[in-house]
Amino acid sequence: DGGITQSPKYLFRKEGQNVTLSCEQNLNHDAMYWYRQDPGQGLRLIYYSQIVNDFQKGDIAEGYSVSREKKESFPLTVTSAQKNPTAFYLCASSIVGQANEKLFFGSGTQLSVL
């Protein structure tokens, strides 16, 4: 079955530590996205990528970094500069990253601070 796989499902970060969230898709989609979800709030865009080796900042990119070395992979690193990292992180993809396309989501990673 095609889809988006996020791992791990739960992740704990210590003070001053960088952590990396994995996102892999086998849908052959060009565009990939990272969203952050906080309780009672909508999804906020962190980074997006429309093509391999290229990505752009979203609305809340500070304290995060990404790479897009392969079409199927879009890992997100939460750096120590992100002072409030506790949230549910969702990876998504779409076919070509054009307007009006629907998004396909992974099942998410819950990140907590120890």
# residues near another protein by CB under 8 A: 25
Asked whether position 4 contacts another protein by CB under 8 A, the answer is yes
Q: Tell me which residue of 87, 84, 77, 79 sits closest to 109, measured CA to CA.
A: 87
Handedness of CA 79, 64, 24, 89 (dihedral sign): positive
Question: What tokens does 53 get?
Answer: 């080796």
Asked whether position 63 contacts another protein by CB under 8 A, the answer is no
Task: Mark the segment that binds another protein (CB under 8 A) among 13-21, 42-50, 65-73, 74-82.
Answer: 42-50
Residue 80 makes CB contacts below 8 A (sequence gap 6+) with 15, 16, 17, 18
Asked whether position 85 contacts another protein by CB under 8 A, the answer is no
Asked whether position 2 contacts another protein by CB under 8 A, the answer is no
Residues of the shown chain interacting with another protein in the complex, contacts defined by CB under 8 A: 4, 6, 31, 40-43, 45, 48, 50, 58, 90, 92, 94, 97-103, 105-108
